[in-house]
Amino acid sequence: MKNLLDQINTPSRAVVVAFLAVVLTGTGLLSLPVAVAGGESASWTSALFTATSAVCVTGLAVHDTAAHWSFFGEIVLLVLMQIGGFGIMTLSSILAVVVSGKLGLRARLNTQAETKTLGPGDVRRVIVGVAKVTLVAEALTATVLAARFVIGYGEPVGRAAYYGIFHAISAFTNAGFALWPDSMMRFVTDPWICLPLISAVVAGGLGFPVYAVLRQNWRRPARWTLHAKITLGMTAVLLFGGAVAVTVTEWNNPGTMGGLSPGLRIMAGFFHSAMTRSGGLNSVDTSQMSESSWLISDVLMFIGAGSASTGGGIKVTTFALLGFVILAELRGEPDVSAGRRRIPEQLQRQALTIALLSVASVAVGTFAMMTVTPFKLDRVLFEVISAFGTVGLSTGITADVGPLGHLILTLLMFVGRLGPVTLGAALALHVQTRRFRYPEERPLVG
């Protein structure tokens, strides 16, 4: 146990401290009178909540972003979103490469743990690669959005460019902030706005390791890594499956999709399904959705996006590995396998540990929120999973949960953003050998 704590405390401590420093810096900037549209200083709980939501690329908001924050405040949010999305994607990518053993390991991270780090050249290549993917995806999305705002809505070029850049970064980083009080509901009938945002969110949720594989072997799927196959496959299944489920349950709901044409209902369903991966934007009123749709959204938000991506959740690979474990047990097979590859037992335990600790975090967070807010379980659970999964969707209760509720959600956002990453890396790098084994005994199961 001490060795595992060393693993968590040493390499990951710097990461947590760095993100905490950015959050506190953002809190200080948002607390300035110049950051608020009315010229008055924001409360520290409001500034802390908003800064954490931006750095952890969540998108939950206490105030209407465009109405409450000044242009300076919006720029602060924009920078925090970019730092948070780029930082977590870079960190996760480096840790993923270290764990997979695909780059040379040279120096020890510390004298107590048997972990090693990347050389300067390797780190540089990963950072440059993540930067290229980020800038290209955001630039393409911003260009399409800006052009649409000019051509379709008559916005001045400068304002259209600002809108395009802000929402491109918000979408690719899976941050979920928008400059309109109804998020993207006013554009529910516009595919030139909705489809680029869907594409950016999905692209940000794949992760750099997948792009590295596709860059080398995009024409030869047989050479894709198991991680890339699982991420792409599960992304498609969850995106389309979630879209079908939400569209069916909301088809005749007059508060959401009921007044749209069939084609637009399908697009709205895909939009919501994509945003539950951690995107956080909404094109229909989430608060008016049925309880069935909330439950579907809870599941999708908890699973989240790909590892080493800007998305949150327990990650699609974790979910898929648990599915492979169940399938092997049902078949009575001695090994857990996927794609003609055997899954190591250590990796199975890692997936189970992350999933169960995440369930525990959601359960504790839900209990805490239920004790300090008057809202029912379905809305509170949705809010807690959205915060922990760094999604940003809400049933409309974020502003009304009170200071204690905001602090609980702030903690959930921070833990949900960094917890699975740091814990996963620590578990993967924590290898302990033992020269003896205890006698076996089988307790009853089930």
Residue-level pLDDT, tens digit, the chain, 446 residues: 445 444 444 556 667 778 889 999 999 999 999 999 988 888 899 999 999 999 999 999 999 998 999 999 999 999 999 988 887 777 666 655 555 544 343 333 332 332 333 444 466 777 788 888 899 999 999 999 999 999 999 999 999 999 999 999 999 999 999 999 999 999 999 999 999 999 999 999 998 888 888 888 888 888 888 989 999 999 999 999 999 999 999 999 999 999 999 999 999 999 999 999 889 999 999 999 999 999 999 999 999 998 878 888 999 999 999 999 999 999 988 888 888 889 888 888 888 888 998 999 999 999 999 999 999 999 999 999 999 999 999 999 999 999 999 999 999 999 888 776 666 555 555 555 666 677 877 686 67
Per-residue model confidence (pLDDT) at position 269: 97
Phi-psi domain of 279 (left: phi exceeds 0; alpha: psi -120 through 50; beta: other):
alpha
Quote the Cα angle for 13-17-18, to 5°: 115
CA 426, CA 314: separation in Å to the nearest integer?
A: 15
Per-residue model confidence (pLDDT) at position 353: 87
Per-residue model confidence (pLDDT) at position 431: 56
Per-residue model confidence (pLDDT) at position 2: 46
* Secondary structure (DSSP) of 413-436: HHHHHHHHHHHHHHHHH-----S-
Q: Output b/e per residue, 334-345; b: 16+ Cβ within 10 A.
A: eebebeeeebee
CA 136, CA 245: separation in Å to the nearest integer?
A: 32
Residue 431 Cα distances to 3, 4, 114, 308, 426, angstroms: 9, 9, 8, 22, 10
Phi-psi domain of 424 (left: phi exceeds 0; alpha: psi -120 through 50; beta: other):
alpha
Q: What are the beta bridge partners of residue 107? A: 117
CA 189, CA 260: separation in Å to the nearest integer?
A: 8
Per-residue model confidence (pLDDT) at position 405: 95
Q: The dihedral of CA 42, 45, 48, 53: what is its sign? A: negative
List the one residue out of 295, 169, 320 whose CA is nearest residue 242: 295
Per-residue model confidence (pLDDT) at position 87: 75
CA 318, CA 413: separation in Å to the nearest integer?
A: 19
Asked if residues 297 and 272 have their Cβ atoms less than 8 Å apart, the reply is yes
CA 19, CA 213: separation in Å to the nearest integer?
A: 28
Q: What are the beta bridge partners of residue 146? A: none
* pTM for this model (two decimals): 0.88
